[in-house]
Amino acid sequence: MKKHIIQTDNAPAAIGPYSQAIRIGDFLYTSGQIALDPRSGKFLPGEIEDETDQTLKNISSILQADGLNLENVIKTTVYLSDLNNFAKMNKVYEKYFSKNKPARACVQVAALPKGAKVEIDAIAVCSS
């Protein structure tokens, strides 16, 4: 199976040696996204709600680069620096996945890049 690297200027460039996403077969795997501004690449610190919103916008832009959208997402992993932010993150997350709720894991981690409060990665299916 051939691996296709997905890259778009509408999402933040990778801040390390990785791709924004990889498509292999009928699946697309995004790298973890945090609240980075796609244009400047700068971290947009804010409340957990703001960071979650920007993070999911970044994931959506990556999916769009391969002709997909959030309805194609079948699994996400949410990494929180403080699990006490779960309910606030979840309110924003639910706005993006109100109809097609993917499987999900959510864990607390010791720290995230750039001091982020949330990081999310996604797996999407590319065929109907």
Distance CA 55, CA 80 (A): 12
Closest by CA to 51, choosing from 7, 4, 117, is 117
Closest by CA to 113, choosing from 22, 45, 21, is 45
Beta bridge partners of 76: 104, 122
Beta bridge partners of 16: none
Q: How far apart are the first and last CA of the chain?
A: 19
Question: Among residues 106, 112, 123, 125, which one is catalytic?
Answer: 106
Query: Is residue 126 annotated as a catalytic residue, yes or no?
Result: no
The catalytic residues are 106
